[in-house]
Structure 1
Amino acid sequence: MAWIIVIVCVVLALSFYTRMKARAEADRLSPDAGQALLDFGRAFPSEAIRAIHSTRNDQAYFVRLHDGKAGFMASHGTHFVCHLIEPGRVQVTTTESGRGLKVHFSELAHLDGDFEFRSGEIAAEVALWLLGSFQPRSEFTPQA
């Protein structure tokens, strides 16, 4: 009887171990917004990030910076490729779904792609960032 209990305990321990190992591997390979912010901060230490939006699959992040510029981060395993976008250096069109953008980077064509967001509003906001025309209203800005 004791052997049966030992065998059951070993089987349960092995199944628990394999499940935890698979979860740790998935967490290690999945991109993280916090890691994206750290990588962008290391790449561009003088740029202050005001807002960040990720794509639907969390493989790319777009950031709005303090001075009207925008940034782009593409996930490559456990790190991010970071790019600072100047206004006029990118072409943006919407995808057929209305929740995505087709982005062409004039300086780095290998980063071009279709990026789907969680909503059409987020896609529109990111398009404004990329085109350099985002002018937020503040409660201190006088209404015209």
Structure 2
Amino acid sequence: MSYFVWAVILVIVLLLAWFSTRMSKQEEDDDLHDTGLAILEFGRAFPNEAIRALHATANGQAVFVRLHDNKAGFMRHMRNHYACHLIEPGTVRVRPLAKDTDFAVEFLDAPFHNGEFTFATPQQAAEVSLWLLGNYVAPSDIEVAETQGKATS
């Protein structure tokens, strides 16, 4: 009889330990959606860049950042930290996918960040894709195009 009681107690302790580790894992996953943490991590990586807006993907594994001078940034969750990337003009390609909340991104200067990203709403996906596409053309190319436009008028 006493072996049975000890076996039940052992099973209860093991279940409590399993549930407590699952709960702490859930809390860590919830931290991924913390925009304050994302702002701090990006600010630590790029202290001279001012953030205008940011949008996290639906699963919280990636955050796209819009910066003050219409540049863009990208953050990907890597186990226990964010890998931050400043997107240089002309180094990103965006391709739409079947659903209007999804698109694929190819980073020409950081291919390990390439992937397909899903957002909570189509509006978020559209806004982020516009940030990335607006960042596609280098400012010097815009100045040349404006100069040529003024010369032809």
TM range (shorter): 0.7 to 0.9
SS at match of 1:81: strand
For 1:80-134, what per-residue CA distance to the aligned partner results, in whole angstroms no more than 9, with x for missing partners? 110011232111111111111110111011111110111111111001111226x
Shift of 1:16: 4.9
Count of residues in correspondence between the two structures: 130
Judge conservation of contact 2:33–2:56 (CA < 8 Å) in 1.
no
Gaps of 5+ in 2: 1-7, 136-153
Cα gap change, 1:112/1:10 in structure 2, threshold over 3 Å: closer, same or farther? closer
1:71–1:82: 8 Å Cα contact kept in structure 2? yes
| Structure number with higher helix proportion | 2
Partner-residue secondary structure (3-state), 1:68: coil
Aligned to 2:61: 59
Write out per-residue CA displacement over residues 59-97 of structure 1, whole angstroms, 9 at most, x where no aligned residue.
000011111001100111110110011232111111111
Checking the alignment, whether the CA contact within 8 Å between 2:66 and 2:131 is kept in structure 1 is yes
Q: Does the CA contact (< 8 Å) of 1:64 and 1:71 recur in 2?
A: yes
Partner of 2:26: 26
CA RMSD of aligned residues (A): 2.5
Provide the residue aligned with 2:142 in structure 1: none
% same residue? 45
Bigger Rg, structure 1 or 2 = 2
The residue that corresponds to 1:72 in the other structure is 74
Contact 1:29/1:77 (CA < 8 Å) preserved in 2?
no
Secondary structure at the residue paired with 1:46? coil
Q: Which TM-score applies when normalising by structure 2?
A: 0.72
Please tell me whether residue 99 in structure 1 is matched to residue 136 in structure 2: no
How much does 1:15 deviate? 5.0
Where do 1:65-144 residues align within 5 Å? 65-132=67-134
